[in-house]
Amino acid sequence: MTSQASFDLVYDPLVKQHLQVIERKYHSLIRQTIEEQLRFEPEVETKNRKPLKRPIAIDADWEIRFGPDNRFRVFYQVDRKNTAVYILAVGVKPKNQLFIGGEVIEL
């Protein structure tokens, strides 16, 4: 039996500010999804987990989409050497605009 490597989840201090502008009722969904999706195999591409095709302002390499209407986005980097996933930003994307910490981010 092979065991999967467990990655440490390291949150950027700004993530706390990003969450402050998201309705509190979604915080447990966000936390649970991050744990489930990124603790093991964070670099496996799925329908809602993809490498970013072009860089955005926060230096993330990957994103996951989830929640009602796939409105939530988590942007992260993976450090295989240290088995760590760095959660860099949590945002909301209603329609065609991405908001991180209440600010519009260019895609």
Total domains present in the chain: 1
Q: What is the DSSP string of the chain?
A: ---PPPPEEEE-THHHHHHHTS-GGGHHHHHHHHHHHHSS-TT---SSEEE-SS--TT--SEEEEESGGG-EEEEEEEETTTTEEEEEEEEE--TT-EEETTEEE--
Count, residues in the chain: 107
Give the domain extent around 86.
8-105
Domain-embedded: residue 24: yes
- How much is the pTM? 0.91
What whole-number percentage of the chain has pLDDT above 70?
96
Q: What is the mean pLDDT of residues 18-26?
A: 96
Confidence at residue 45, expressed as pLDDT on a 0 to 100 scale: 96
pLDDT of residue 57: 72
Residue in the block written with tokens 């999967």: 4
Q: Tell me the β-bridge partners of 63.
A: 50, 75
Cβ-contact 74, 48 below 8 angstroms: no
Please report the pLDDT score of residue 3 as a whole number: 56
Instruction: Look up the CATH number of the domain holding residue 59.
Output: 3.30.2310.20
Question: What pLDDT, in 10s, does the model give residues 31-84?
Answer: 999 999 999 999 999 999 999 988 777 889 999 999 999 999 999 999 999 999
